[in-house]
């Protein structure tokens, strides 16, 4: 009776997937999510400090930029504070409205398409 020895490594049973290269001269198109503007509106009740705090905490602005944006809201009645995909714009607007409600401010943000 003879014994058969197995090879050290097994042969590969799967063949690698073929690499598909784009045709020469073809252009690849990348789909982007549409962007929306978040607008902050002035009112006579909400404090300037609250507006700055929202710009820093919710919209990730540095303090100096937040002060400039707050002054624009105060002096012109509104300011475009960020440009985001719709879902993010809605989420951040909701965060501002909830914080304003907790502090009994009538402060509002709105979303507009570009």
For residue 67, the enclosing domain spans 47-113
The answer as to whether 21 is a domain residue is: no
Q: For residue range 30-80, what is the model confidence (pLDDT) as tens digits?
A: 678 899 999 999 999 999 999 999 999 999 999 999 999 999 999 999 999
Kindly state whether residue 37 falls inside one of the protein's structural domains: no
Mean of the per-residue pLDDT values of the chain: 87
19 inside domain: no
Query: If we measure between CA atoms, which residue out of 45, 16, 31, 65 comes closest to residue 108?
Result: 45
Calculate mean pLDDT across residues 84-92.
97
Retrieve residue 56's tokens.
């820093």
* pTM exceeds 0.85, yes or no: no
- φ, ψ for residue 41, nearest 5 deg: -115, 140
Q: How many structural domains is the chain composed of?
A: 1
- 13 lies in a domain? no
At 106 the three-state DSSP class reads coil
48 CB-near residues (< 8 Å, 6+ apart)? 70, 74
14 — pLDDT class (breaks 50, 70, 90): low
Q: Note the pLDDT of residue 39.
A: 98
Is 76 within a domain? yes
Task: Answer yes or no: are the C-beta atoms of 51 and 40 closer than 8 Å.
Answer: yes
CATH number of the domain to which 64 belongs: 3.30.1390.10
């Amino acid at each position: 009776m003879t014994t058969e020895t197995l090879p050290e490594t097994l042969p590969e049973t799967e063949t690698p997937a073929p690499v598909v290269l784009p045709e020469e001269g073809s252009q690849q198109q990348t789909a982007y999510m549409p962007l929306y503007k978040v607008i902050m509106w002035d009112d006579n009740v909400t404090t300037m400090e609250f507006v700055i705090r929202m710009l820093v905490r919710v919209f990730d602005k540095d303090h100096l930029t937040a002060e400039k944006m707050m002054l624009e809201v105060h002096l012109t009645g509104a300011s475009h504070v960020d440009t985001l995909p719709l879902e993010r714009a809605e989420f951040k607007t909701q965060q501002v409205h909830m914080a304003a409600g907790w502090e009994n401010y009538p402060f509002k943000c709105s979303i507009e398409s570009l």
